[in-house]
Amino acid sequence: MVLKKNRSGKSHSVSLSLIPIALLVLCVMGSFAFVANYAAMRQVKIELDREKLQLGQSFTYSADSLLLAMTRDEALGDLFQNPNQLGELDRALQGLARRQSLDYAVLVSRADGRVLAETGDPDVLAARGKAAQGLIEAARLRGLEGSTIGIGREARVVQDGLGIVTLATLPVGRNLILIGTRPITSATLRRLSTMLAIPNLRVVMGRTNIETSYAVPSIDGQTSMSVIWEPTRDAADILGELALFGLIGTFMVGVVGVLLFRRIRRTTEEILHREARASHEARHDALSGLPNRTVFIDALNETIEELPHRDHALAVLLLDLDKFKDVNDTYGHAAGDRVLIEFGARVRPLLRQTDILARLGGDEFAVLLPTARTHLDATRLAQAIVDAANRPFIIDGIEMRIGVTVGIAIGPNDGTDSATLLRAADTALYRAKNEGRNRFNLYEHRMNEQERMRKLVDDELRGAIENDELTLVYQPQVHADTGRIASVEALVRWRHPVHGMISPVMFISAAEERGLIVPLGEWVLRRAMQDAARWPKLRVGVNVSAVQFRQKDFVELVGRVLKECKAEPGQLELELTEGVLVEDADQAQAAMMDLRSLGVKLALDDFGTGYSSLIYLRRFAFDKIKIDKSFLDQMEATGESAILVHSVVHLGRALGLEVTAEGVETEEQRRFLQAVGCHLLQGYLFSKPVPAEKLDELMTLDGDLSQRSRTQSAA
């Protein structure tokens, strides 16, 4: 089964990332165009308002200047000194017109509107006179005294049908009104255009809708003229100027957009890469790169669901490397990691494209064959995997040899769900290990209860140690002559809450296989020393495994436990087997000397069952030897065992060692051991292993324990 990576999501996400960038660019460009157009139109309006305001102010200034000049004319008094002398009035009015550059002037009686004197250019005289007369008549109709002409002074720019003029009216004394006009010529407009920076001022007839125009009011209200000009700047010019900035802005927006797009794309790719890596790490083993347990279970469940629609079975193979712990302990974890990687690389070529190889953890692997036609497919593959693992692993030039044990379960025969199939494969694996490792085994429904119980021990022993579910019992060791208690041996028991009492043979061997013997041994030692405080004069024997004894801090641990439990060192007797001494005799001897310096007693357990016991007795300083139960079992059947027991007892006594015989169950055995000089006896003849509370009762009894034991058996 091929696990494919999905790349469509990445391209889809990158495509989606373009949408906000495109929208951003469009929004920026649209906003810029709107702002540019608004700015241009606003600028045109501001310029137009400014030009109209300046032109109107200039005309007003021109009219006010004329009114002021006429008012200050020194000859103005001549006009009302001789109002009845028309000749004098004409001359005075003509002089005023010349001095003030008037093209028309008229003196009107304020009382009745009668023209007293009039002067002007021939070309405009008639038209101006008519216009002035119309103005006077209009004022008289409104009431001359209340008219604008009739009161105060006024100056304004008007048009009379011929051209634009500056009109000034002012009272002369009480009875006269002076009206004068000064023409606004094209030269005047050119000067005004230059002064105001308003290009090409000119006059057009009638009103116009051109925005760049200034409507001039008429004297008679009949005709109209307008002053127009070319705009200083129109919207097109402004937009043209803004176009450069627009191009620069567009370029900058484009650059920013490109940078932003690249940044977003890079960020998106990084996010997708991290997500893909996280997804891969969540579903694959970090060391070997193989699918992990989650992927394997998912694939197994998927295959199980498809089984009803297929005409073939599936197979689950659980692989457990042999001697892998030795590689880690001897060459280090780095070498172990490389062995795991190399093992995975060897197995992968043996699989089909649809098969899955997964690392479940540690040195455990699993293979799923989703299309196993028969169990032969699974067994052939299992044998190929065993052969591949048997080839030496060369790590840094060092040849390492391991093996692999394989358990096989076939679905749906061995189970119709993943948990059942894995449990069946695990049971087959466990059986293959018990049969010698480096082989494969098919699950069989007739696998006995003992194998399932050993599997249970493997799964729950650690929790039993951590949760203090174990207990200690003590078997007395009595004086051979008196039958009274001299010392006890601590033995560990496990009463399972569901399965009841589990044999120590089963869970102690499991502890050694699963690396739990060290915490188990520490628990036994600590509990035994806690109980030893109840029996100050009694030695307590504690069995020590070879693995536990070889720990570098074992002596330190013993000293710490004695101190914490406030137990006398002489109360502790460590029972060692020959296996403790085999691997590193020098290290063992040093540890034993340190233990003796603490005051701890040492006993050689199962004496006579190994190959070099005599050598150990000569080299190592033991306090006691214990004769194994197997010698007593065969003692009655063959005379050789009796001779060996006799020799061992005499050897121990000759070396100054205390001798204890284990497994004493009959009076005949007791009498023989007593006769040959054995110091202490241990066995059911005196007492079974009992809890600490029961041992308290036995300690209070006087007399031979064997008598009490026979009495209880008879009862």
- Is the predicted pLDDT of residue 181 greater than 70, yes or no? yes
- How high is the pLDDT of residue 314? 93
Task: Work out the burial of residue 572: count CB atoms within 10 Å of its CB; fewer than 13 is exposed, 13-18 middle, 19 or more buried.
Answer: buried
- Ranges of beta strands (E only) in 173-327 are 176-183, 202-205, 213-216, 225-228, 313-322
In a domain, 631, yes or no: yes
| Residue 208: φ, ψ to 5° | -140, 155
Same domain, 585 and 693: yes
Same domain, 178 and 222: yes
Whose CA is closest to 659, among 672, 670, 669, 673? 673
- Is the predicted pLDDT of residue 87 greater than 50, yes or no? yes
CA dihedral over 7, 8, 9, 12, signed as positive or negative? positive
CB 670 within 8 A of CB 681: yes
Instruction: Report the side by side order of strands in the sheet with 176-183.
Output: 115-120, 104-109, 176-183, 164-172, 154-159
Same domain, 49 and 110: yes
Same domain, 180 and 311: no
Q: What average pLDDT does this structure show over 667-685?
A: 92
Same domain, 67 and 215: yes
Distance from C-alpha of 305 to C-alpha of 251, rounded to nearest angstrom: 60
Q: How many CA atoms lie within 13 A of 458 on its CB side?
A: 14
Higher pLDDT, 149 or 515: 515
Amino acid at 504: P
Which tokens go with 7?
């790349």
Same domain, 341 and 255: no
pTM of the model: 0.47
- Tens digits of per-residue pLDDT, 196-255? 778 888 888 777 777 788 888 877 666 678 888 877 666 555 565 656 666 676 677 777
In a domain, 65, yes or no: yes
- How high is the pLDDT of residue 709? 63
Q: What is the dihedral of CA 415, 421, 423, 427, to 10 degrees?
A: 90
In a domain, 398, yes or no: yes
- How high is the pLDDT of residue 4? 43
**Pairing relation of β-strands 393-395 and 658-662?**
unpaired
pLDDT band at 437 (very low <50, low <70, confident <90, very high): confident
Which tokens go with 565?
């439990």
Higher pLDDT, 581 or 118: 118
Count CB atoms within 10 A of the CB of residue 170.
Answer: 18
CA 596 to chain centre: 56
Distance from C-alpha of 684 to C-alpha of 57, rounded to nearest angstrom: 136
Domain count for the chain, please give it.
4
Q: What average pLDDT does this structure show over 428-438?
A: 85
Amino acid at 153: R
In a domain, 288, yes or no: no
* CATH at 221: 3.30.450.190
Query: With helix as H, strand as E and coil as C, how does 461-480 read?
Result: HHHHHHCCCEEEEEEEEEEC
| Residue 200: φ, ψ to 5° | 60, 55
In a domain, 632, yes or no: yes
Distance from C-alpha of 450 to C-alpha of 503, rounded to nearest angstrom: 11
Distance from first CA to last CA of the chain, Å, rounded?
69
Q: Report the SS3 class of residue 413.
A: coil
Task: Work out the burial of residue 382: count CB atoms within 10 Å of its CB; fewer than 13 is exposed, 13-18 middle, 19 or more buried.
Answer: buried
- How high is the pLDDT of residue 296? 94
CB 679 within 8 A of CB 479: yes
Same domain, 162 and 301: no
Distance from C-alpha of 177 to C-alpha of 189, rounded to nearest angstrom: 29
* CATH at 386: 3.30.70.270
**Pairing relation of β-strands 601-607 and 572-576?**
parallel
What is the C-alpha R_g of the chain? 62
> Where in the sequence is the domain holding 257, given as residue range(s)?
8-42+250-283
- Tens digits of per-residue pLDDT, 258-313? 787 788 778 888 887 877 776 766 778 888 889 999 999 999 999 999 888 887 89
Distance from C-alpha of 406 to C-alpha of 367, rounded to nearest angstrom: 10
Q: Report the SS3 class of residue 390.
A: helix
**H/E segment holding residue 711:** helix 705-714
**H/E segment holding residue 90:** helix 86-99
In a domain, 410, yes or no: yes
Same domain, 51 and 157: yes
Same domain, 191 and 278: no
Residue pointed to by tokens 């002398």: 85
Task: Work out the burial of residue 162: count CB atoms within 10 Å of its CB; fewer than 13 is exposed, 13-18 middle, 19 or more buried.
Answer: middle
| Residue 477: φ, ψ to 5° | -115, 120
Higher pLDDT, 494 or 611: 494
Same domain, 191 and 324: no
Give per-residue burial for 306-341: e unless 16+ CB within 10 Å, then b.
eeeeeeebbbbbbbbbbbbeebbeebeeebbebbbb
What is the chain's mean pLDDT, rounded?
82
Q: Which residues contact 532 (CB under 8 A, 6 or more apart)?
A: 538, 540, 565, 567, 568, 571, 572
Same domain, 189 and 309: no
Beta bridge partners of 486: none
Distance from C-alpha of 597 to C-alpha of 567, rounded to nearest angstrom: 16
pLDDT band at 543 (very low <50, low <70, confident <90, very high): very high
Q: How many CA atoms lie within 13 A of 500 on its CB side?
A: 0
- How high is the pLDDT of residue 320? 94
Which of 17-31, 217-231, 534-548 shows the lowest mean pLDDT across its residues? 17-31
In a domain, 238, yes or no: no
Whose CA is closest to 128, among 100, 162, 95, 157? 162
pLDDT band at 128 (very low <50, low <70, confident <90, very high): confident
Same domain, 37 and 50: no
Which tokens go with 217?
């009011």
Which of 264-278, 347-361, 514-528, 593-607 shows the lowest mean pLDDT across its residues? 264-278
Which tokens go with 637?
């059947």
In a domain, 244, yes or no: no
| Residue 303: φ, ψ to 5° | -65, -40
